[in-house]
Structure 1
Amino acid sequence: MSRFTQAFNGLAELLPRPEFTRFELGTLYLLQLTAFVLLASVVYKFRVKSRNEELGQLPEKKRDHFVATLTMSAAVLLIFIFINNRLVPFTLGGPLKWACYGAGLFLVLYGSAWHVWSKVSIGRFWSDQPELQKEHEIVTSGAYALARHPMYGSLILWCVGLGLAAFNLAALLVTGLIFIPMMVARARAEEAMLAASPGYEMYRNNVRMFFPSLSGPAAFSVKLAALAALVYAIASGITAGSLVFLLTLHLLLGNSLKPEKVAFSYRSKSFMLVLIFALGGAWGGFYYLNWLIAAMFAYGLFFNCPCMLVYEKYQRCPCFDLLGKACPK
């Protein structure tokens, strides 16, 4: 037995061996199946890219970037290590458990399908590294009509879905603290290269970076569902697990809703929920402020809530400015 195998087996012994129910095992297999589908799409694109280069279709300009297939795969592998071994899970009960599971499963399936569609839409311009090909064209149709970087946005949704469907806090933390910053860095590197391309400035101003814009009846339905989940959580008692679900849900809406003032209000209230939860440990009376947040969400369904009015005036949250002035330099 090689030293590598011995080290790997030793590491495996340190990890817990959780018992999965048949339902949980089926979910885990489904999540892994979507991972294999995404992996197969990447392998196919690599083969097409290699064939095109053999035919002389070489890039005109190329820049090496640390965020590529290998580093993305490493982050995804880390997520699956947490999920497969049930490391740092969160618990939910009642309807919120099934709402979280359903939302997670939807994001996994939607993210997978959207990612494959993105690879089809980009066609021969796909590359593992940021590059410009000869006679490069800005792709604005198909999946790219919904977002400027749908491949990265779809992977973010997929990873978030993995964490929600598996009720795994560690997977969500890896997504938020490692994977999303990686996607942002890669997207900005590509945009710096494409900035001088004709028509790209207009495209960037009209289309979001990662996620499709939600508006109209679809947005109202999602906001109503999010409000129902919040009200139920407050009425039944917000726990750490329900806070994780609510925070994830509202942050997703805060990066998808349109107009921007509505998205801003969801991001702001998400952090208010976290603050109230933290303050609740010092004095239980703070908990009732959650009902104020819920009332603001309900009011915002039809009118401009205070957060929207703040955004219209400042285009940002002035609380951070006040905090900066209060903190000693």
Structure 2
Amino acid sequence: MTPGIAKFAFVMMAVGWYLLRYRYARRARREKVLRSARGPRETTLLLISLTGLGIVPFIYVGTAMPHFASYAFRPAQAWLGVLVAVAALVMFRLTHRALGRNWSVSLDVREDHHLITDGIYRTIRHPMYSAFWLWAVAQALLLPNFVAGFAGLVGFGTLYFGRVAREERMMLETFGDEYREYMARTGRIMPRLS
């Protein structure tokens, strides 16, 4: 493992992410949205997350900047990053496959939207967020730079903590007791330990 291979692994994680999402994004555009939480707050949260998970690390991959924040490369850390990146992509794929036409980049309720409780959603309410947390951890392990490596944790963390409560409120308003029961038996981003 070398720093160049670690950077390549990060880029391949992003490419895999894009390829997995592309088909679902195209399909989602055709579905009618009945209710949405889109607006300035949602846009700001998405931009902060994009900055941390995409813009800052890609500047580092392309330029090694910011130089002052770099630290010694550790091959074992990068190998662990590769494993976490694979786990992120697997989780991402399972999430999209289970959601199908219900998927949305924003907080949307679509026409004929139904509560997904099978597949990866059987034990985790928000596996998409789990996948993004895994991405952020993989980024921190693959990129030996305190700014670029940890930007994903800060960027996505801001989105997560600024959005998850609103999303759960929207689901409760849409699905009522069915969602309350679902919340009682699932963990938010990890399976609930019984």
Report the TM range for the smaller structure's normalisation: 0.7 to 0.9
CA deviations over 1:298-324 (Å, ceiling 9, x no partner): xxxxxxxxxxxxxxxxxxxxxxxxxxx
Identity score, percent: 19
Counterpart residue number, 2:15: 36
Cα distance in 2, alignment partners of residues 31 and 173 from structure 1: 13
Q: Which amino acid aligns with 1:59?
A: V
Q: Which amino acid aligns with 1:60?
A: L
Counterpart residue number, 2:158: 181
Question: Which SS does the other structure have where 2:2 is aligned?
Answer: helix
Alignment root-mean-square deviation, CA:
2.5
From 91, 96, 101, give the equivalent of 2:72.
91
Deviation of 1:68 after TM superposition, in Å, equals: 6.8
CA contact (8 A) 2:50 2:155 kept: no
1:114 aligns with 2:91: yes
1:82 aligns with 2:56: no
**Where do 1:140-289 residues align within 5 Å?**
140-196=117-173, 197=175, 198-212=177-191, 258=193
**Alpha-carbon distance change, 132 to 103 in structure 1, aligned in 2, over 3 angstroms:** same
Structure having the higher Rg: 1
Cα distance in 2, alignment partners of residues 205 and 86 from structure 1: 45
Question: Which SS does the other structure have where 1:78 is aligned?
Answer: helix
Cα distance in 2, alignment partners of residues 203 and 169 from structure 1: 38
Question: Which SS does the other structure have where 2:113 is aligned?
Answer: coil
Q: Which amino acid aligns with 2:72?
A: T
Counting matched residue pairs gives: 185
Cα distance in 1, alignment partners of residues 162 and 46 from structure 2: 14
Cα distance in 1, alignment partners of residues 154 and 143 from structure 2: 18
Counterpart residue number, 2:115: 138
Which runs of no fewer than 5 residues in structure 2 stay unpaired?
none
Which runs of no fewer than 5 residues in structure 1 stay unpaired?
1-21, 214-257, 260-329
Question: Which SS does the other structure have where 1:209 is aligned?
Answer: coil
